[in-house]
Amino acid sequence: MAKTLDLNCDMGESFAAWTMGEDEAMLGLVTSANVACGFHAGDPSVMRRTVRAAKAADVRVGAHPGFADLYGFGRRRISGERPEDLEAQLIYQIVAMQGMCAVEGHPMTHVKFHGALSNMASEDADLAALCARAIRAVDPSMTFVTMPYSELAVAADRAGLPQACEIFADRSYTPEGRLTPRSQPGAVIHDPQVSARQVLEMVVGGRIPCTDGSFLPVAADTLCVHGDTRGAVEIASTLRTALEAEGVAIAPFRAQPAG
């Protein structure tokens, strides 16, 4: 059987008069969209427009909740929030996206957490469990998009949530299997050819190349290209071409059952 891979993009991150990303062009290349829910980016009008555009392009939609941090685009680490308050904020965002999808007749399929929240929860078991609880409270059949070697993946299993293993086209990896912090050189990959080599290693070779020259095994379900990365459209197009040339079919992910 030919290998299939979902190609996803974080989008809907414009806000009011401010525009972020080339969503329309990306929707012509990807099979899943993770749409900002208004807390780190996006607003109700952008959410609705993005869902409508995704439906027209036959692209799946998921919620992309993050910290309440419009000023910092959700990339600032926030601590001191009461767990019950943060959990309520995440539930609020997931429900808002789910409701917008329902109104537009394009059911939401998954949840992927954004930025600093995702990075922190990947290392913090309690925060990861909180994220899983928020998804489960809304819909326990919803797919949790998680990174390999993360506490988020562990929390998804423990909560009985189906999950999809995500790798990144435009980010480098530490030897622990985590994303290299954006503050470090080489954390973000802008060269489409470099990105393609990394992706083929992960998808076809089944291993993550790390910054120290080592490798970690991986079985990926979905590949992310960040919509706000410079050259995102070119990167996504190059990746599709490279993957299809290797016999990889680009198609929506099939979630893996918990456990």
Q: Is residue 258 part of a domain?
A: no
Q: Which CA distances in Å does 247 have to 93, 168, 185, 242, 250?
A: 37, 20, 33, 9, 10
Alpha carbon 56 to its chain's center: 21
Q: What pLDDT is attached to residue 3?
A: 87
Q: What pLDDT is attached to residue 77?
A: 87
Q: Is residue 259 part of a domain?
A: no
Q: What pLDDT is attached to residue 231?
A: 81
Mean pLDDT, consecutive 10-residue stretches, the chain (259 aa), reads 86 88 92 96 96 98 95 83 94 98 98 95 96 98 96 97 93 91 86 90 96 95 86 89 94 76
Q: Is residue 257 part of a domain?
A: no
Q: What pLDDT is attached to residue 257?
A: 67
Please count the structural domains in the chain.
Answer: 1
Q: What pLDDT is attached to residue 80?
A: 73
Burial class (CB in 10 A: 0-12, 13-18, 19+), 154: middle
Q: What is the CATH number of the domain that holds 87?
A: 3.20.20.370
Read off the tokens for 254: 């099939």
Q: What pLDDT is attached to residue 19?
A: 86
The boundaries of the domain holding residue 133 are: 4-250
Q: Is residue 146 part of a domain?
A: yes
pTM of the predicted model, to two decimals? 0.93
